[in-house]
Amino acid sequence: MSITEHTVKTDRHTSFYLAAGPENGPLIIFVHGWPELSISWRHQLPALAALGFCAIAPDMRGYGRSSVYSRHGDYAQELIVRDMIELLDSTGRQKAIWVGHDWGSPVVWNVASHHPDRCEAVASLCVPYYTIDRGLDHTLTLIDRNLYPENEFPYGQWEYMRLYEEAFAEAIAPMDASPRKFLKLAFRKGDPSGEGKRAVTSMARKGRGMLGSAQFPDLPRDGDVVSEEDLSIYASALERNGFFGPSSWYLNHKTNEAYGAKAVNGGNLDMPVLFIAALYDYVCESVHSRLGEPMRAHCRNLKEEIIKAGHWVAQEKPLEVNAALVKWLATSVRNLWPRPA
């Protein structure tokens, strides 16, 4: 199944996106996170297209071939959601199924909670609803304080987010200096031995670096997550655009909190919802912690799956992710299942 390239331009924003599948098939939009690209969904697009879905994945604001902006405030969730609604409008559709991962998850959660009339169903990988989409201060209330004592780790596994706020230029400088080296360190499969232990990001402020240190070892590429071609595409995009835009997504927590408070229906989601937890994702740890509790309280038609993988679950375990998505679509969203011509 071929993947094609497209661009949508409006008066306010340009979105590049990949597409696969029949144009008249049920629309499913995949939204990537930090520091990724539309190709993060390279395993999902052809699989869903082969079933008859029209599957698309944009480069998000600040990434790849989409618009890049120079102010931190240009990366607030409300603006990013507008990008996605404009992308949806460009397809001529009223609604889509939305799938997000990492920072793409708050985007699809916000589409669902602010624009339920544009959302058939919503799925998220790793990041539960009613967490970072409601701002960092709210998310801090869900930290496992047995694992992260407040006197030692006041921001728990989210210490890196505070580092961005306190020393943004310092935080992104080593990543900008060597995107390829950083990506080889970041794009690694899950490690079962880390279960029950603190996430490396909890050392970010102490080590003055996103992953606990400002110095990155030059590790070999993890072929279970990215190929050499994939890595080169990611690295070249970040070498061209830099980390300012992608990392500015972390500097709008108060603005995002205010936006989240404007959600309709009391923030409750009535459409079908799927949450896929990655068991070995120790930053977004939601299997043993309270991180998923608000989601379970606010989603009235929720299915959950657990996959034994790390944070880059869609790239590390694509067959398992695709199977979970297809099972959910065929059961909870079956009214949209593609019909034979």
What residues act catalytically? 102, 311
CA gap 138, 143 in Å, rounded? 10
Residue 335 near residue 121, CB atoms below 8 Å: no
CA gap 63, 264 in Å, rounded? 29
CA gap 152, 146 in Å, rounded? 11
The DSSP code sequence of 101-127 is ETTHHHHHHHHHHH-GGGEEEEEEES-
204 contacts: CB under 8 Å, gap ≥ 6: 159, 160, 162, 163, 210, 211, 212
CA gap 196, 306 in Å, rounded? 16
Cα end-to-end span (Å), the chain: 18
> Within 10 Å of residue 8's Cβ, how many Cβ atoms?
18
Q: Which amino acid is at 260?
A: G
The structure tokens 């618009």 sit at: 67
CA gap 324, 321 in Å, rounded? 5
The DSSP code sequence of 214-260 is S----PPP-TTT--HHHHHHHHHHHHHH-SHHHHHGGG-HHHHHHHH
